[in-house]
Structure 1
């Protein structure tokens, strides 16, 4: 064995050991996150896997759908408890998110996720719920309304994705991976260490200009993002997020249920003028309210304003 071969083998061994170290580190962080934020709801078998959900309160049904990279904790830092005083509130981990599973090859486009929401509404026996969607959850809620197959009272959307986007925020740059094999490789090697070492740039875009609440990491479920599974499934959602929006945008005039939107004027993820103002200008039957100085994470940073907005929408439909 010559010197060149020995050198190459040495390099291969070093790279393999480094990758193994990253896998072990990611697994340890995953276990730590799951111990800190265990499942807090119940589980229900659905067609694509197992749904994790939580239902609290009594009254008219409200179903809440979180956004890209989120989980049900996004609604559980005050918003769900507030609404539960006079509503029956169901918050879910979307299939593939949080503690809900999503078996391949279940599709991840908005229309397919809307079909799963319809299944969930039936399985949980929700009675004409008001559907609340945040960010990507807003697009999914709109798809449910456009499909017209589930009996819902209306939509109350928080910073929703509503129209096709040519260029997404740089916060999502690392998610644009279309190969499942590469996505899993990155998820189990580089994704978690990167999030641990440099969380600030992404956090400032997602939450800014508002601070991250102290209870977000645990009660808000933020620590669950430190899991390979989270990166893999969020990437799957991201690459298909825009697929159905052009066709959906052409159908908004056909919406048969009331739609109301709440946006922060300082949202750094989605442009409130485009996804809110432009939409309402084209379809004035859709209501729009703005929260001055608020960013994208309204359910977490502005739970009182979000609850008041949802309650107004619910009362208008009573």
Structure 2
């Protein structure tokens, strides 16, 4: 027994070393490109585009297994032509780090709120994609005085009883997460990454440059698996508490969904949510889950309409 156990240990150490190497390489290929802000519980990496713009600021919060390049790939530059656009890596994602317990949806909302205050942004439009939509909803309810409105793109906005098939690999028990994250997750991710990306983007194609320009390579790190596993486990309870407060929402909420979204159900997370939040609206376009990357023109047009509706758009830019 000692020899097989010893060999297993050596093999596990080898996998851990390989996983660490792949993680470092991903960070070299997709380096931090912005600034860092210290907030309670986290060090947030953010990119501040066109900070001198006169138009109202826009803050963008990415989704599960993502990072801020999900927005800068195709969408953010269009809006930064006449608006200040702040892209942020959520705590524990991208190049942001955490200090202390891993934060859930509500705690992350508090950290994004602290960044808005630290940057002295005057009522920005808060844009949240997927899990970033849930964080944005929590901020809108908890700190409504900070934002002019919420623009939610394919948001997680309801309790989802079944984790989307593409994310079922994140359902490991707490005790096994570190072992899996540092041994089999990265090699398996490299093997199945193309198929996973295709499932997330479906029915839209995955851009050839998404791994680098879109930040996709950063999902291939042990820390990303740990963060993702935590969020899929804690999201149902947090979303139950959040949805119970939708009637309290006092900021404008607009939702955009792709009719073909294969990750989150547009009827549940879009139409039902719009019916539960006073004054909320929902718009549907052809496309899948990754609208900021695959349908930037339509998403920009929708966002400019939301800005105009919340009193924040220039009439000559819409």
Tell whether 2:152 aligns with 1:161.
no
The whole-number CA distance in structure 1 between the counterparts of 2:281 and 2:272 is 12
The whole-number CA distance in structure 1 between the counterparts of 2:84 and 2:236 is 31
Evaluate the alpha carbon distance shift between residue 200 and residue 78 of structure 1 in structure 2; reply closer, same or farther with a 3 A threshold: closer
Q: Give the Å deviation of 1:81.
A: 0.3
Which residue of 2 is the match for residue 174 of structure 1?
169
Q: Give the Å deviation of 1:280.
A: 2.6
Greater C-alpha Rg: 1
The question of whether the paired residues in 2 share the 8 Å contact of 1:97 and 1:234 is answered with no
Structure 1 gaps of 5+ residues are 1-7
Which residue of 2 is the match for residue 96 of structure 1?
92
Post-superposition CA distance 1:217-251 (Å, at most 9, x none): 11111111111111112212221112222232222
Evaluate the alpha carbon distance shift between residue 150 and residue 281 of structure 1 in structure 2; reply closer, same or farther with a 3 A threshold: closer
The whole-number CA distance in structure 1 between the counterparts of 2:166 and 2:145 is 33
Runs of 4+ residues over 6 Å off in structure 1: none
For 1:1-318, what aligned pairs fall within 5 Å after superposition?
A: 8-57=1-50, 58=53, 59-108=55-104, 110-148=105-143, 150-179=145-174, 181-283=175-277, 285-292=279-286, 294-318=287-311
Q: Give the Å deviation of 1:128.
A: 0.3
The whole-number CA distance in structure 2 between the counterparts of 1:101 and 1:258 is 31
The question of whether the paired residues in 1 share the 8 Å contact of 2:144 and 2:250 is answered with no
The whole-number CA distance in structure 2 between the counterparts of 1:246 and 1:126 is 30
The whole-number CA distance in structure 1 between the counterparts of 2:237 and 2:112 is 18
Post-superposition CA distance 1:99-138 (Å, at most 9, x none): 0001231432x21111111111111211101000001111
Residues matched between the structures, number: 308
The whole-number CA distance in structure 1 between the counterparts of 2:20 and 2:135 is 31
Evaluate the alpha carbon distance shift between residue 283 and residue 106 of structure 1 in structure 2; reply closer, same or farther with a 3 A threshold: closer
Evaluate the alpha carbon distance shift between residue 289 and residue 149 of structure 1 in structure 2; reply closer, same or farther with a 3 A threshold: closer
Evaluate the alpha carbon distance shift between residue 23 and residue 54 of structure 1 in structure 2; reply closer, same or farther with a 3 A threshold: same
The question of whether the paired residues in 2 share the 8 Å contact of 1:177 and 1:239 is answered with no
Structure 2 gaps of 5+ residues are 312-318
The question of whether the paired residues in 2 share the 8 Å contact of 1:29 and 1:226 is answered with yes
